[in-house]
Chains A and B, each alone.
Chain A
């Protein structure tokens, strides 16, 4: 929709340019999808020409401005499957960015799930320099991130090693191909096992196990490590249902990856 209060676009924009009333602009599919009467300027990041995907020293750097379509076509199966978890159409994929999905910080954001599940690291740029934040800690609540005023997300780095480890995904939604109410990703990390719970909860929960847990242990871990009030309660699913599916899918994933 038209953002009628916006009177200026800075493109390309740089860290340090932000002032109150500004918004960093990625693809625009999030920003332009809601009225934002507090905005007066857009700071366009896509004009900066950051390479979408850079593989260096066994680390994949995904620019915040990498489109979902670019990531889906990157050849990494786990990335492709996370892209499929988008409610959004492939037409949105042509425009929406990985960074935009992280910064929107919706529980159902599948790029958050991907980054958290792969132990991704966010590179955050601010007026006073750069800092690194694990993806799993980047989102702190429904629509809330650690970004402070003027900070922007530059990229996410994931290691080739985690990208190539065995994984399993389960998505629960109220509708076929619908918005995720539950999105779980399990990953075998050597002898260990990492279970990432997203969409069901207000922020990502990454459960690490030194060995493949038993059915009982994984259920106890879910109960003990994810408080009941961490589960989302909104139009996309009752919290009890989300909690139940989390438990159900965790066991399905455990069995799949234990096999």
Chain B
């Protein structure tokens, strides 16, 4: 086979797909995304024709010529399409990018004119596709800032050149000699005690090295969820448990010299279960006599019952009261890189784990604790991570990889399949939310009464925290003297829910913002006016029922500007729509804390290198969140240079003391602040060392040489106090009542992100958030059958937003500057997700007169809802 101009002699295995063969030959730019021909991340050219190499039999390519992304560039530099993706910054995490580039490079002019069709087989989970459309159109978005002006500039991601050439190294893009492969047997039943596991046959499979079962469990309870404060998440999980609590739970692990042998070993294992009665809904789980999953009465692992003021009195003085119950679906993060890790012992015998994680330091702490190792005997590294969205704020693989490496003393790799992402990872928490709201004739809220039931699934992990967070900013954004919350979080025998972009707020905001829309209708008021009458204002306290950490305040306020943007958007003329289609507008808003309560720590160092350049070390991982770009921008400005003279070392427990992790929208506001402090201190040191001279390159080199040791400064931020960010979304839609077809005619999003550090990137985060939220609003649902088994186990059953599904969203920023965040910045990565579903529900209500309450709104469900309404 000729690959990128070089003959490769190795014969493919009979059942091998071309993708695996190419990766074995070192073409790591060819990505494994879906493994079913749907996402396009593995696109290569075979004799000049683009194909999905994951469903292309490798043997058939034996006499063919293959071009991968690594072979696309010519001798005179990047291929024009690679350059275009770089110029447009048509990527975030970049895992899909090689496939998109290889696809784009093969498009005819006709296909370029119809991208929704041409990109049928390319999924991007991060960008929302606008940036990709820009790349195809040749739009140049990235800019090179002058010294001292990096913050606020549209700097491209430092890793961009690697991303577009397929040389960025993700978790599994390295060759580990002698690596063993781990596969797991997963439970086929929802609730059972394991009676017996027969492993002899598996151990007899050629190539199988070891089988681990609950007999090998280290005997400690832990939570897969990761937070700075370990006590935040219920310790109810084991590496390998003798009780299975959901269909899909790991039962046994087989380690072998090849994936094939590991799979054969798994098939050879026989598990006998003593079945226990399962419960699949919170109502069933909390009913008297229900089986208890863990040491939690009524299977309730978190609850909040609190009242401010007197809601009964509040409803009594209301002119209008509306109450409705809403549900949200199980949603998968669907990062294109699956979960997985590879571990080994280094020359010093230290355990090293390279993982697709958002929390290297917390994972190290958890692994060390599980196996009674001192922290300095464990190192956790993240390469470039192929998407997170909260799903990787979780230790789902590292514990078992560590167990295998420690027991065998050999390198071990475990990569989730796409199906395992659905059956054995986590989902967004399904919520049932009932909100009763009362208002006076002028729209002033008199009472808000919230009832929330959170289904955390078989394990508690993020459940209680998601419940508390969901019930806070969603209510606190409204001034109302009388608020009451009754929330419970219950275990069920279903795939566990975990951290997901928005962390509970989106689910509750869906109800709150829908109910406010109905109240506005009842009172004959404009929904924006109702918001304006009730929103918190600068200087006011953020109040919601229950005890909440008191370090949260409005350190900058742009919600009023966001609402102004939305009002202006609604003034746009309505485009023509087909006869019989119904047009409607809808808006919703959301507030989010810029960081989690209870501490989020970041350490950073800034170092002068011998060549006069600078190195920043941070703990946070890069998975398309773009914080690395912002860190380079901050450092460049503080050090009066340009970002190209800054290199960033990151996401490795060896490079800094500690970092809580890249979650809760903290990459800029927490880690960025640590970088700001480190760079500022280094600059002060250098100014002193210069003794009045200009700090030009020669002087810097001289200072570096004279110092005799690396000149380094440290910065730290503990994540408190915290500010809040605001978002508002507006849609104009047209609906065909005869088919349920829904077209988005307009989408406008306004965000108050404080100082916008990188407008291009921040816009990308918002577009991506809106797109992902549109997925959960219009398409995505993980389904579970009557026996608790997940039935949506791939991208053909679980529909991710495609290019064709995703509208262009106009992004507007409020002009504010925050008193807490670094250089005035606030968080803007999770929050754009939150107002999308209610804005769409409100637009549907406006267009059709029908209030939809259960996500997602697929076309068949919209049609069915309109049919039902027409009959009643």
Using a CB–CB cutoff of 8 Å, the interface residues on chain A facing chain B are 1-9, 11, 25, 28-30, 32-35, 37, 39, 41-42, 44, 46, 84, 87-92, 94-95, 172-179, 181, 235, 237-238, 240-242, 244-245, 248
Contacts and interface: CB of A to CB of B under 8 A. Distances in A.
A28 B56 contact: yes
6 pairs of A and B residues whose beta carbons are closest in the complex: A89-B121, A6-B15, A3-B15, A4-B260, A241-B860, A176-B804
A2 B259 contact: yes
Given A2-B20, A33-B55, 6 more contacts: A2-B13, A32-B37, A87-B796, A91-B43, A241-B740, A241-B859
Contacts of A7: 14-15
B49 interface: yes
B312 interface: no
A30 to B, nearest CB: 8
13 contacts: A6-B13, A9-B57, A28-B57, A29-B55, A33-B37, A33-B55, A37-B267, A42-B14, A46-B60, A94-B49, A172-B739, A176-B804, A238-B860
Contacts of A241: 740, 859-860, 863-864
A33 B258 CA distance: 20
A218 to B, nearest CB: 17
Contacts of A90: 50, 111, 118, 120-121
B57 A42 contact: yes
A156 B22 CA distance: 35
Contacts of B859: 173-175, 237, 241
Nearest to A106: B796
B73 interface: no
Interface string B151-187: 0000000000000000000000000000000000000
Given A88-B121, A181-B860, A1 B804 contact: no
A30 B51 CA distance: 14
B799 interface: yes
A1 B35 contact: yes
B625 interface: no
Contacts of A174: 779, 799, 858-860
A68 to B, nearest CB: 12
A176 B740 CA distance: 12
B319 interface: no
B322 interface: no
B350 interface: no
A95 B120 contact: no
B338 interface: no
A84 B116 CA distance: 12
Given A175-B779, A179-B796, A91 B864 contact: no
A88 B56 contact: no
Given A1-B17, A2-B17, A34-B36, A91 B860 contact: no
A88 B17 contact: no
Contact of A8 (B14, B119, B263, B858): B14
A2 B16 contact: yes
Interface in B248-293: 258-260, 263-264, 267
A128 to B, nearest CB: 28
B59 interface: yes
B799 A175 contact: yes
Given A29-B37, A33-B37, A42-B15, A177 B804 contact: yes
A205 to B, nearest CB: 20
A173 B802 CA distance: 14
Interface string B1-45: 000000000000111110010000000000000011100100100
B462 interface: no
A32 B120 CA distance: 19
A28 B55 contact: yes
A178 B259 contact: no
Interface of B: 13-17, 20, 35-37, 40, 43, 46, 49-52, 54-57, 59-60, 103, 106, 111, 116-122, 258-260, 263-264, 267, 417, 419, 738-740, 779, 783, 791-792, 796-797, 799, 802, 804-805, 858-861, 863-864, 867
Nearest to B267: A37
Which has the most chain A C-beta neighbours within 10 Å: B17, B57, B117, B783?
A: B57
Contacts of A172: 739
A33 B20 contact: no
Nearest to B261: A4
Contact of A32 (B55, B118, B258): B55
A3 B59 CA distance: 12
Contact of B116 (A2, A32, A177, A242): A177
B414 to A, nearest CB: 16
A38 B14 CA distance: 15
Contacts of A6: 13-15
Contacts of B46: 94
A92 B54 contact: no
B804 A9 contact: no
A37 B60 CA distance: 21
A33 B799 CA distance: 16
Which has the most chain B C-beta neighbours within 10 Å: A4, A37, A248?
A: A4
Contact of B120 (A9, A25, A88, A238): A88
Contacts of B121: 88-92
A4 B57 contact: no
A178 B780 CA distance: 13
B790 to A, nearest CB: 12
Nearest to B801: A175
A174 B860 CA distance: 7
B861 A238 contact: yes
B15 A248 contact: no
Nearest to B856: A174
A194 B55 CA distance: 36
A100 B20 CA distance: 23
A46 B64 CA distance: 15
A1 B60 CA distance: 15
Given A91-B43, A179-B796, A2 B15 contact: yes
Nearest to B58: A2
A37 B263 contact: yes
Contacts of B60: 28, 44, 46
Contacts of A2: 13, 15-17, 20, 259-260
Contacts of B116: 176-177
Given A1-B17, A34-B36, A177-B802, A25 B57 contact: yes
A245 B739 contact: yes
Contact of A95 (B51, B260, B799): B51
A142 to B, nearest CB: 14
Nearest to A239: B860
A1 B55 CA distance: 6
A235 B740 contact: no
B371 to A, nearest CB: 31
Contact of B259 (A4, A32, A244): A4
B52 A91 contact: yes
B14 A87 contact: no
A5 B261 CA distance: 9
A176 to B, nearest CB: 4
A176 B799 CA distance: 11
A207 to B, nearest CB: 21
Contacts of A84: 117
B14 A9 contact: yes
Nearest to B20: A2
A255 to B, nearest CB: 14
A95 B55 contact: yes
Contacts of B805: 175-176
Contact of B103 (A29, A88, A91): A91
B792 to A, nearest CB: 6
B735 to A, nearest CB: 14
A99 to B, nearest CB: 16
B564 to A, nearest CB: 32
Contacts of B792: 235
Which has the most chain B C-beta neighbours within 10 Å: A2, A25, A28, A237?
A: A2
B804 to A, nearest CB: 4
Contact of A92 (B35, B55, B111): B55
A32 B56 contact: yes
A5 B15 contact: yes
